[in-house]
Structures are given as structure tokens and as C-alpha cells.
Amino acid sequence: MEELIEILEELQPDVDYETVDDLVDGRYLDSLTILSLISEIEDAFDVEIPTVEIIPANFNSAAKMWELITRLQEED
Amino acid sequence: MSFFNPVFAFAFIPFVVIIYNLFPKKLRAGVLLAISLLFFAFVSKWLIIYLLLSIISVYVTGISISKLEEKKKEALKTVEKEEKKSVKASYKRKEKFVLVLCIIFNVTFLFFFKYLNFFAVNANLLMDYFKIGHRITIVKHVAPIGISFYTLEALSYVLDIYYGKIEADKNILRVALYLAFFPQVLEGPIARYSDTAKSLYEGNKVTFESFNYGYQRILYGFAKKLIIADRLNIIVKSVFEDFNSYNGFTVFIGVAAYMIMLYMEFSGTIDIVIGIGEMFGVKVPENFRQPFFAKNVSDFWTRWHISLGLWFKDYIFYPVSLSKSMKNLTGKAKKKLGNHYGPLVSGSVALLAVWLLNGLWHGAGWHYIFFGLYHFFMILMGNIFDPSVAKVCEKLHIDRHKKGYRIFQSVKMTFWVFIGELFFRAPSLTVAFAMLRRMFDTFSFRVGELFTLGMDRKDYVVLMIGLVGIFIMGIVHEKGINVREEISKKKLVTRWAILYAFILVILIFGAYGQGYVPVDPIYADF
């Protein structure tokens, strides 16, 4: 989780990733930042995020992203 | 038919409500479907056949994909672990084949009605250029109303089933209602099955409360159209039809008037669609969110025609930018260009695809394609220069979150969007560039010229009051306050009094009668 927050902070600073739970709906992360984020997550956690998983519900908070990562790791 | 026709608002809707309420709950969805199909047939006559074909095609495709999924699950139970991957891949190929057939089937109709002539005209030009003695005959076809909207909605239904986001509906009448729901079928919003379907089938009774609540939204739409858009239409028509007679300032006002008119007309229509939905308890997604408060062009498109932007994002942008080859490209580019510019390489390829299609979706013409490419360029530039702008602001101690800077951003964004819409409205690229030149070459503040456009002082006063009213409502909405929620807390008498007062304001200040030309439904033609 710490590594994920580090990635997020590098891509988009000035956001409190511990508390914000509308990263996509609140437009903290735009489409291009999400592209960078996906690429970073895939490299760092050795998972492949399918297009179907790219929905706001999975990216609205660091916790939700972490849930997605662990689920994809388990499915692998 | 325009939603702003008094017959539609004051006779058709109450008639539909009465008929709908007369039936028991479980039959009401059927009543809505029958009314929706009759409405479509009334507007587009025999062309309803194409809507029905679309409905049948997505229904059959959905069921086929769902059956293949079931077969896959059965097959996976009987095979060894090492074979599972190839079984999954084999079924995915079959599902993809069915999906692609359905997409081709639906897009062919769209191409035939909207783009065939455009391609034929350009092919003829090319053949003339290369002195090939052959010509394609141009035949004008009248398209079924709303084909661009319901086709995207139909495709989203099968794509969502293919991606496993939703289950295929086993009842074709339900699929038909989702695609043909009468307020939505003409100009959207392009709703997803997961957004509206459930509430569409519930058959909620229209109560005094829901009728009043929905009608408030409908009247807000009417106010935008009759008080503002139909007045601005006078300026727009004068300037765009004879721009050489006016100085640059007036041409700019004409261009700005067009953009605001488009917003009032289209968002007003969506207000009516959402209002009708609210009467029946149907959740229709919002399509606008104070677009002129956006901080840049990219942000603007997350607030303007939201359902179209989301469609392109979900079904074009992400699938293209996250395809295997693009991911490899992102990986390589990131190493050389870093975290910001690396993903921008594949992102811009996907953005180009999105904006080419977005331009074409709006119409078959080079100026629409240019309109798309213009926005692609503006968004790309915004992304390229954003880190530099951030550094400059930091050095100059400018807080980018402060109100003053946000207003500056919105004004700058609005100017760029106005220019984009000039290409959208102008009849051709040549005229658009000529208008742009005139705007800058002959610019001078000759305000008096505005009174030669066909609007008198009274019209301008009403227009300005209307615009200020909408602007204040925009600020209130931006702050997250729902005005109608506040009104709904008042007593019934107060609520009805507000409703009647609103009707009175529209009747007194609406721009109808001699000297006014109502705006035609702009987006229904797309």
C-alpha cells in the first residue's frame, strides 16, 4: 500500500491519498494520469489490469486501487 | 418533433402520464415501450424499421455472448488446468466474432445514412482530380431520427456484455425500452444499460410530487430555450449568414452567441429529458455540469455532453491506449521521457482516434473533422505545457487553486472553445477561416453595431437578465446545492406557486411570435 501511495504522490502531488475517496469522480486524476498510473502499477506489482477494470469504482481511492491489485494478484 | 413544441410539453406529456397511470404497475413498462415506439414512428415513419433491427441485433448478440459464456464455464469444468487457457481463448474469439458482427451491422446503417454521401462526394473529387471517368451517384437519404445516439447506446449494451460488466437481458421488450425510451431516443443522453434499465422497468406511479419535481426541470429547459437560445438565434443567423457586413467584434459576439445558444438549446433539451424521466422515476444521467466553469479544454469535455465523452473514453480511449502494442510503447516512452510525457505518447494516439471519431460523429463534413482535430490539438497542447505552466506559476508565486487564477483559466478556456465552435457552425472550412480572419482583421469595439442584428434594447435586457440568472444557477450548482431539492422542502402550495410563476415568466419573456425564429433541435440532426 505504501508503494502505491508513493506512486500516486509522484504522479499527482497535493492530494491526501489516505482520505480522498473520489479521485476519479472528483477529477483529481484525469485519463492521462490514469494511463501513467496503470503502467506504474503493472510494473510495480506485476499484474495486468484489463480495460474492463478501468472504472471509477476501482480508482476512486488508494484503498480501492489496493483492493483491485490484490484481487488481480490472487486471480493470477 | 421538437421537445419545445407546446403540444409536446402541455398535451403529449400529460396525456402519456394519464395513460401510464391507468395501467397496473407490471404493465407500465409495456405502456412506455408502446408509447416510445409510436412516438418514434410518428417522427421517423417507416424508418423505425432500422431502430427495430438495431434492437433485435443487440438482443440476439447479447444472448449469444451469454450462451457462449455458459458453455465456456461448462467446458472449463471438464478440462485439465493446462488446457484452461486455450479453452478461454477459444471462447473469447467466438464471443469477439459475434460482437464484431453486431458492431459492423449497426455501424453499416449509421454509415449508410450519415457518411455515404460524404465519402461519395470526396471520392468523386478524387476521381476528377486523377481524371478517372467514373462518378458515384449521390442519393440523399433521410436518416432515422437519433440514429447517432441510439447506435452508440446499442453498442454500449453489447460491449458491456462482452466485457462482463452486465448480464444480457433475456427479455427483448426490456432491451427495446432501454433503446427506444421516447424522451431519450432523439438527443440522448447516451445512457448505459446499467444506468437506466432497472428504473425503466419498475413502473413507478407518476405522483403529484414526481410530476411537479420533473416539471420544474422541464420548465428550466424551456426557459433556457425560449428566453435565451431563441433570442441568440437572431444574432447567430445575422452574423453567420452575412459576416462580411460586420466588424470583428460583432463577428466574435456572433460566434460566442452560437456557443451559448448551443448550450442553452442542448442542455435545455436534456433538462426536459431528465425531467420526464424524473416523473416516471427513471434515472437519466446528467449530460452537462457547468461546462463554462472548466479550467481547460480537456476539463470542458468532462462537463459538456458528458455521456458522449464517457462513451469515447470507455470504448475507444482506454481500449486503444491500453492495447498490448500501446502498453509496450508507453513502457519504452516512459523510460526515455519520464512519467508525464511517456504515457502521453500512447495517450495521444488514443486521443487522436477519439477526436477524429468525435468530429465525424457530429457530422459528415471536413469542418466537423477539423473541429475534432482542433480539440485534439488543444487537449494535447494543454498536457504538454501543463508541467511548464506549473513551474512558471511556482516561480511567480501564483497559486493555481486561487479564485482569480481559476477565473482566468475559465475565460481562456471559453475563448478556445468559442473558436472551436466557429468551425462547428460554419457551413465549410473556407467560411470558418474567413470568419476567423475577419474577427481579428477588423476588430474594433463598435458596440452600436449589435443593435443592427435584429434585436432591440428590450431583447438585450431580457437576454442579459436570463444569462445572469443561468450564471447564478451555475454557481449554485457548482457549489453542490440542488435548488429543486430546496424547493421540494417547501409546502405544496409554495411549490405549485413557484411552478406557475415560472410558466408565467416563460410566457412573458419567451422569444416567440413575429420577428423570432426558434432554434431547430441542433443535436437531433447528429
pLDDT per position as a tens digit, B239-258: 999 999 999 999 999 999 99
Q: Which residue of A has its CA nearest to B164?
A: A52
Cβ-contact B227, B516 below 8 angstroms: no
Q: What is the mean pLDDT of residues B384-409?
A: 89
Closest CA–CA distance from residue B284 to any residue of chain A (Å):
18
Q: At what angle do helices B324-362 and B366-395 cross, to 10 degrees?
A: 120
**Over pLDDT 90: what percentage of chain B?**
61
Q: What is the pLDDT of residue B345?
A: 87
Q: Which residues of B touch A35 (CB under 8 A)?
A: 321-322, 330, 343, 346-347
Q: What is the pLDDT of residue B374?
A: 95
Cβ-contact B191, B284 below 8 angstroms: yes
Q: What is the mean pLDDT of residues B11-36?
A: 94
| Chain A residues within 8 angstroms (CB to CB) of chain B | 10-11, 27, 30-32, 35-36, 38-40, 42-43, 49, 51-52, 54-55
pLDDT per position as a tens digit, B42-91: 988 999 999 999 999 999 999 999 999 999 999 888 888 788 888 888 99
Report residue B500's pLDDT band, with 50, 70 and 90 as the boundaries: confident
Determine the 3-state secondary structure of B478 from DSSP: helix
Checking if the pLDDT of B438 tops 70, the result is yes
Closest CA–CA distance from residue B227 to any residue of chain A (Å):
33
Spans of all domains in chain B: 6-205, 208-288+414-526, 307-398
Q: What is the pLDDT of residue A10?
A: 84
Q: At what angle do helices B172-180 and B25-44 cross, to 10 degrees?
A: 50
Checking if the pLDDT of B521 tops 70, the result is no
How distant, in Å, are the alpha carbons of B89, B174, B322 from that of A42? 22, 39, 12
Cβ-contact A54, A38 below 8 angstroms: yes
pLDDT per position as a tens digit, B344-389: 888 899 999 999 999 999 988 899 999 999 999 999 999 889 888 9
- Mutation test of the interface with chain A: which of B339, B349, B380, B400, choosing the one with the most A Cβ atoms within 10 A? B339
Least confident of B19-33, B279-293, B341-355: B341-355
Closest CA–CA distance from residue B18 to any residue of chain A (Å):
38
Instruction: Answer whether B322 sits within 8 Å of A40, measured CB to CB.
Output: no
**Which cell is A30 given?**
484525469
Find the length of chain B.
526
Checking if the pLDDT of B164 tops 80, the result is yes
Residue B501, burial from CB neighbour count under 10 angstroms (0-12, 13-18, 19+): exposed
Q: What is the pLDDT of residue B523?
A: 64
pLDDT per position as a tens digit, A1-46: 888 998 898 888 888 898 899 998 888 888 888 888 888 898 889 8
**Over pLDDT 70: what percentage of chain B?**
97
Report residue B228's pLDDT band, with 50, 70 and 90 as the boundaries: very high
Q: What is the pLDDT of residue B49?
A: 94
**Torsions phi, psi of B156, nearest 5?**
-65, -35
Q: Which residues of B touch A36 (CB under 8 A)?
A: 334, 339-340, 342-343
Q: Which residues of A touch B346 (CB under 8 A)?
A: 35
Sign of CA dihedral B436, B438, B444, B447: negative
Q: What is the pLDDT of residue B503?
A: 87
Checking if the pLDDT of B172 tops 90, the result is yes
Could you say which DSSP state residue A15 is in?
-
Instruction: Answer whether A32 sits within 8 Å of B330, measured CB to CB.
Output: no
Instruction: Answer whether B322 sits within 8 Å of A27, measured CB to CB.
Output: no
Closest CA–CA distance from residue B327 to any residue of chain A (Å):
7
Beta strands in A1-76 (DSSP E): none
Instruction: Answer whether A36 sits within 8 Å of B319, measured CB to CB.
Output: no
| Of residues A10, A35, A52, nearest to B347 (C-beta) | A35
Report residue B415's pLDDT band, with 50, 70 and 90 as the boundaries: very high
Return the number of other C-beta atoms located less than 10 Å from residue B208's C-beta: 10
Q: At what angle do helices B147-162 and B172-180 cross, to 10 degrees?
A: 140
Q: What is the pLDDT of residue B522?
A: 65
Report residue B525's pLDDT band, with 50, 70 and 90 as the boundaries: low
**Which cell is B501 given?**
410563476
| Chain B residues within 8 angstroms (CB to CB) of chain A | 163-165, 298-299, 302, 313, 317-319, 321-322, 327, 330-331, 334, 339-340, 342-344, 346-347, 383
| DSSP result, B292-352 | GG-SSHHHHTTTSSHHHHHHHIIIIIHHHHTSHHHHHHHHHHHHHHHHHHHHHHHHHHHHH
Enumerate helices (H) and strands (E) in chain A, giving the number of each.
4, 0
Cβ-contact B158, B61 below 8 angstroms: yes
Single out the residue of B296, B303, B288 nearest to residue B224, CA to CA. Answer: B288
Instruction: Answer whether A31 sits within 8 Å of B327, measured CB to CB.
Output: no
Checking if the pLDDT of B437 tops 90, the result is yes
Question: Which own/partner pairs from B112-119 qualify as long-range (CB within 8 Å, at least 24 positions apart)?
Answer: B112/B141, B113/B50, B113/B141, B113/B143, B113/B144, B113/B147, B114/B143, B114/B147, B114/B148, B114/B363, B114/B364, B115/B360, B115/B364, B116/B141, B117/B141, B117/B364, B118/B364, B118/B365, B119/B364
Checking if the pLDDT of B485 tops 90, the result is no
Instruction: Answer whether B334 sits within 8 Å of A32, measured CB to CB.
Output: no
Q: What is the pLDDT of residue B9?
A: 83
Q: What is the pLDDT of residue B153?
A: 96
Q: What is the mean pLDDT of residues B499-503?
A: 86
Q: Which residues of A touch B343 (CB under 8 A)?
A: 32, 35-36, 39
Checking if the pLDDT of B211 tops 70, the result is yes
Instruction: Answer whether B327 sits within 8 Å of A42, measured CB to CB.
Output: yes
| Of residues B165, B302, B330, nearest to A35 (C-beta) | B330
Q: Which residues of A touch B299 (CB under 8 A)?
A: 27
Instruction: Answer whether A39 sits within 8 Å of B321, measured CB to CB.
Output: no
Cβ-contact B328, A22 below 8 angstroms: no
| Of residues A27, A35, A52, nearest to B321 (C-beta) | A35
Checking if the pLDDT of B339 tops 80, the result is no
Could you say which DSSP state residue B522 is in?
T
ipTM of the assembly?
Answer: 0.84
Return the number of other C-beta atoms located less than 10 Å from residue B253's C-beta: 20
Closest CA–CA distance from residue A59 to any residue of chain B (Å):
14
Q: At what angle do helices A62-75 and A31-45 cross, to 10 degrees?
A: 50
Q: How far apart, in whole angstroms, are the C-alpha atoms of residue B220 and residue B227?
A: 10
Q: Which helix (H) or strand (E) holds B51?
A: helix B48-78
Return the number of other C-beta atoms located less than 10 Å from residue B206's C-beta: 20
Q: What is the pLDDT of residue B29?
A: 94
Q: How far apart, in whole angstroms, are the C-alpha atoms of residue A37 and residue A7?
A: 7
Q: What is the pLDDT of residue B448?
A: 82
pLDDT per position as a tens digit, B452-474: 888 888 899 999 999 999 999 99
Buried b (16+ CB within 10 A) or exposed e, B72-104: beeeeeeeeeeeeeebeeebeeebeebbeebbe
Single out the residue of B418, B425, B423, B443 nearest to residue B433, CA to CA. Answer: B423
Q: Which residues of A touch B316 (CB under 8 A)?
A: none
Q: How far apart, in whole angstroms, are the C-alpha atoms of residue A6 and residue B477?
A: 34
Q: Which residue of A has its CA nearest to B317?
A: A31
Single out the residue of B6, B52, B364, B25 nearest to residue B180, CA to CA. Answer: B52
Q: Which residues of A touch B318 (CB under 8 A)?
A: 31, 51, 54
How distant, in Å, are the alpha carbons of A58, B201, B331 from that of A73? 15, 38, 20
Checking if the pLDDT of B526 tops 70, the result is no
The whole-model pTM stands at 0.90
Checking if the pLDDT of B489 tops 70, the result is yes
| Of residues A30, A36, A54, nearest to B298 (C-beta) | A30
- Mutation test of the interface with chain B: which of A6, A22, A52, choosing the one with the most B Cβ atoms within 10 A? A52
Determine the 3-state secondary structure of B208 from DSSP: helix
Q: What is the mean pLDDT of residues B435-439?
A: 93
Q: How far apart, in whole angstroms, are the C-alpha atoms of residue B118 and residue B134?
A: 17
Q: What is the pLDDT of residue B26?
A: 92
Residue A66, burial from CB neighbour count under 10 angstroms (0-12, 13-18, 19+): middle
- What separation, in Å, do the N-terminal and C-terminal C-alpha atoms of chain A show? 19
